[in-house]
Structure 1
Amino acid sequence: MTAAPILAIAVFLIAFGLIVSERVSKVTVVLAAAAAMAVLGLIPGTGVFYDEHAGIDWNVVFLLFGMMVVVGVVKQTGLFDYLGIQAAKMSRGRPYRLMVLLMVITGIASPLIDNVTVVMLIAPVTIVVARRLGISPIPYLIAEILAANIGGASTLIGDPPNIIIGTRAGLTFVDFLVHMAPIVGIVFVGFVLLTRLMFRREFEYHPERAAEVMALDARAAIVDARLLVRSLVVLGLMIGGFFLHAFVHIEPAIVAMLGAGAMLLVARGVATEAFREVEWRTLVFFMGLFVMVAGLVHTGVIGAIGHWAADAVGDDWFLAASSVLWGSAVFGALFDNIPYVATMAPIVETVVAGAPPEIGQAVWWAFALGADFSGNGTAIAASANVVTIGIAARAGYRISFWRFTKYGIVTVVLTTAAAWLYIWLRYFL
């Protein structure tokens, strides 16, 4: 191994350790690591800004920015307060009922739009509900992140890694529904039941606060009905665009930016407030993280791992599927599953080149399940995690790396084990 890969690994591990320690701002860490990668010559001077597979993925960045502007406008209407009061009333303030309600909404919406957009819409509602009931929103936000990453795995558009995999493998929206939705549905039901045990010590219930919320008129929370109608029309068109992008080949970022522009046009006078809601630190963190991972890509570290795995499995296709599944569950959680999938997809394509078509597809599904479920492994493993944690921090609620990870690791192990069993039973038994 030459010096460049060793340096890249050293920079990445030091940065990852500092993020985990939480003694230094994670934004500072990723920017310093990105700068180190550039100064040491581990990334190309310009390619990192233009290569979506081994640099900054601007589709992700602009998708997030556009949706942040949209959420900022919608927030001015009072819709989140309205939905928060309604959710509290439907659950009668009971903590597990409330968690199930929020998870089910998240899990159903994530496959239809994408999980990043869903958590950006549901997280503000959750915070409103929690404040009304006098409880901490943190357990509910963590549960929503986990639910979003599981639910989004079921369709081509539900989770960003699926878009990359679908493009590389030539898989359609219907293919994902047929092969991914069954196991995702089973896993999601099991996860919802598991949360009662996972979060049992964090549930709070204040009868007096619940009674106060039950007496509230949710309609009174709407402060600008005209803007609400206009913004819902724009939001509805955006959701349609997200759903159709797989068929018309318009990137989600384009839909989000067009929607943000339309929102600002119909909401004159609230642009300043909308831009204040943009999580600038989260966007910068993503850019730094992408550059940091690009150092591992350009020095051949991630590629070497993939080729080593491919050589190890040989022609044992079940071993190949199992290795891809579990390897993705582990490394996707460490590297962020978007750049990981972008890097590994061509390697998986090489691995399955000599396999029968149905077996080759089984390996692709193992790859998708492992990569999607890996998003629950750590606080930085998926876009939905980083975005929700940023929204919580802006509202004054700190979700630490380890607090998230202690729930995430359990979820990843159990969901990946279920996925492994599914792959074996459906494709290899």
Structure 2
Amino acid sequence: MAAIAAVSIFVVAYVLIAMEKVDRTKVALGGAALMLLLHITDAEKAFFDERTGVDWNVVFLLLGMMIIVSVLRQTGVFEYVAIWAAKRARGRPYRLMVMLVVITASASALLDNVTTVLLIVPVTFLVCERLALPVVPYLIAEVMASNIGGTATLVGDPPNIIIASRGGLSFNDFLIHLAPLVVVLLVVFCLMCRWLFRWAFTYDPDRAASVMALEEKEAITDGRLLAQSLAVLGVVVAAFVLHPVLHYEPSVVALLGAGLLVAATRVTTQQALEEVEWPTLVFFVGLFVMVGGLVETGVIGDISRFAADTTQGRLGLATMLLLWASAGLSAIIDNIPYVATMSPIVADLVAKAGPDGQVLWWALALGADLGGNATAIGASANVVVLGIAARNGTPISFWTFTRYGILVTLVTVALATPYLWLRYL
């Protein structure tokens, strides 16, 4: 009975989010409240349990990076990068999109994808405003590029960190096994952008000429604060990359970096908190509680076990089923709790399959990471970008994102299929 109630609450909440008739934060909080009210979960499981509770690492990682970005914004560095990018692209819209996509994907391989979009989105708003371009296609392309690029490394996407921990995989393992495919996917995605967003590539020679005449160095308003901010950001990035050695969670690193930046500069606490997307953080809390209810009642586990039992020890079938099932489920359930639930099952399958079974980890990573592009709530980065877009007066609807995301997911997962089969099976 509890499982039926949990599924009903989640489905209704998902439909309301998709219809966009009610604010998504209200929906998430309402769904979380019903899960608690009906005793599907309780305070202990919702707020403190690692398996079914709110993933505070994600929430505080977001909070810390939002504070760092808020301080960086006051230096004028985003205007600098916007002008630099527009000048290098010579005002050509498609060339600019490719440049931003490559920058985003590359950064996401070293930073987590949420941090990357927090840094790149403000630049995108500025450069699109300079060139009179619609910002929505660029934001959608960037968030998808961040999810693709983040697939390449251990620290690039939160699900990868979970997989590495459970599977005993190193930073280099991800580079060797996934990075080659990600490069191919990124090239294909850039080509797809030319067709998907063809309506947005209107070249304005007057705007381009005015941008080419700008001097990007003049955009920097506070050189000292910029130097301090970049120093702290550099330390934070280094700590992210050295996570396997330092053993500090990304959330701890982000909070320490934010605290150091506020304490060591003239920026006030109020100024540092101005750019924090509080509705987005609250939305994540509500979403985690709802998904935790599904985990607690065994719904997600039952689905995962059914998929595992269906394969009956056939490694090739298990790999393909895991890849596509993970992509499908990650499209409707945030890929972090999904991977957290699925990883113990995959660990059992890998143990039974022997050395060749490691391919199942790569199938899980590719399915979860690439499947996150399919819908507006499939990955944390998607939710963050949509929240920032709404705050800046250019909301991206659930279906606007999803109609592009489903196609990109189908193409990228389809390309991952022969890669896994030919290389490992």
1:132 matched to which residue of 2?
130
Judge conservation of contact 1:227–1:266 (CA < 8 Å) in 2: no
Q: CA–CA distance in 2 between the matches of 1:270 and 1:91?
A: 36
User: How far 1:109 moved relative to its partner?
Assistant: 1.0
Q: CA–CA distance in 2 between the matches of 1:337 and 1:282?
A: 17
Alignment of 1:80 with 2:107, yes or no, is no
Aligned counterpart, 2:382: 385
Which piece of structure 1 moves more, 347-356 or 380-389?
A: 347-356
Q: Which secondary structure does the structure 1 equivalent of 2:313 belong to?
A: coil
* Alpha-carbon distance in structure 1 between the residues aligned to 2:98 and 2:244: 30
Aligned to 2:93: 95
Task: Find the aligned partners of 2:202 and 2:383 in 1 and give their Cα distance.
Answer: 25
1:170-249 to structure 2, matched below 5 A, reads: 170-249=168-247
1:41-68: per-residue Cα shift (whole Å, max 9, x none)?
A: 1113312111232110000000000000
Contact 2:91 2:131 in 1 (8 A): yes
In the alignment, the residues of structure 2 paired with residue 262 and residue 204 of structure 1 have an alpha-carbon distance, to the nearest angstrom, of: 43
Deviation at 1:204, TM superposition (A): 2.7
- In 2: Cα distance, 1:100 partner to 1:231 partner: 27
- Describe the SS at the equivalent of 1:146: helix
1:376–1:408 CA contact under 8 A, matched in 2: yes
**Aligned residue among 382, 392, 396 for 1:395:** 392
State how far apart, in whole Å, the 2-side matches of 1:398 and 1:210 are: 26
Q: Equivalent residue for 2:109?
A: 111
Q: Give 2:61's aligned residue.
A: 63
Quick one: distance in 2 between partners of 1:308 and 1:171? 26
Distance 1:400 1:204 in 2: 22
Query: Shift of the alpha carbon at 1:219?
Result: 1.2
Q: Partner amino acid for 1:49?
A: F
CA contact (8 A) 1:279 1:391 kept: yes
Seq. identity, %: 56
Q: How far off its partner does 1:310 sit?
A: 1.2
Deviation at 1:268, TM superposition (A): 1.8
Tell me if 1:421 matches 2:418: yes
Kept in 1: contact 2:239–2:246 (CA 8 A): no
User: Structure 1 stretches of 5 or more lacking a match?
Assistant: none
Deviation at 1:142, TM superposition (A): 0.5
- 1:236-315 aligned within 5 A: 236-315=234-313
Secondary structure at the residue paired with 2:248?
coil
Q: Which residue of 1 aligns with 2:344?
A: 346
State the shift of 1:266 in Å: 2.6
TM-score by length of 2: 0.98
CA distance in 1, matches of 2:55, 2:18: 23
In 1, Cα distance between equivalents of 2:2 and 2:301: 14
Instruction: Check the 8 A contact 1:110/1:158 in 2, yes or no.
Output: yes
Task: Name the amino acid aligned to 2:87.
Answer: K
Deviation at 1:202, TM superposition (A): 2.1
Match of 2:142 in 1: 144
8 Å CA contact 1:73–1:267 kept in 2: the answer is no
Indicate which of 363, 366, 386 corresponds to 1:366: 363
2:110 aligned partner, one-letter code: L
SS of corresponding position for 1:201: helix
Cα distance in 2, alignment partners of residues 21 and 404 from structure 1: 13
In 2, the alpha carbon distance for the partners of 1:279 and 1:236 equals 23
Aligned residues: 425
Alpha-carbon separation, structure 1, partners of 2:181 and 2:216:
37
Give 1:235 deviation, angstroms. Answer: 0.9
Q: What do the CA deviations read for 1:351-375 (whole angstroms, capped 9, x no partner)?
A: 23311212x1011111111011011
Distance in 1, Cα, partners of 2:279 & 2:244: 30
Q: Give, as a single letter, the amino acid of the residue that structure 2 aligns with 1:412.
A: T
Residues 138-171 of structure 1 show CA distances to partners (whole Å, capped at 9, x for unaligned) of 1011000110000100100000000000101111
Is there any run of 5+ residues in structure 2 with no aligned partner, and where? none
| Equivalent-residue separation in structure 2 for 1:414 and 1:135 (angstroms) | 27
**How much has 1:207 moved relative to structure 2?**
1.7
Q: Does the aligned pair in 2 maintain the 1:369–1:416 contact within 8 Å? A: yes
> Does structure 1 retain, via aligned residues, the 8 Å contact 2:133–2:200?
no
Partner of 1:154: 152
1:412 to 409, 414, 420: 409
**Aligned AA (2:168):** G
Q: Which residue is equivalent to 1:39?
A: 37
SS of aligned partner of 2:40:
coil
| Displacement of 1:215 | 1.1
Q: Distance in 2 between matches of 1:52 and 1:163?
A: 14
Q: C-alpha distance in 2, partners of 1:266/1:207? A: 44
Please, what TM-score do these two structures have when normalized by structure 1? 0.97
- SS at 1:53 equivalent: coil
Instruction: Report the Cα distance in structure 2 between the residues aligned to 1:412 and 1:181, rounded to whole angstroms.
Output: 17
Matched-pair contact (CA < 8 Å) for 1:156–1:246: no
Indicate the larger mover: 3-12 or 200-209: 200-209
**SS of the residue aligned with 1:262?**
helix
SS in 2 for 1:96: helix
Q: For 2:372 and 2:267, how far apart are their aligned partners in 1? A: 38
- Residues 331-355 of structure 1, C-alpha deviations (whole Å, 9 max, x = no match): 0110110011111111112223311
Q: Offset of 1:292 from its aligned partner?
A: 0.8
Which residue number in structure 1 is paired with residue 166 of structure 2?
Answer: 168
Contact persistence 1:88–1:129 (CA under 8 A) = yes
- For the residues of structure 1 that align with 2:397 and 2:202, how far apart are their CA atoms? 20
The amino acid that maps onto 1:241 is A
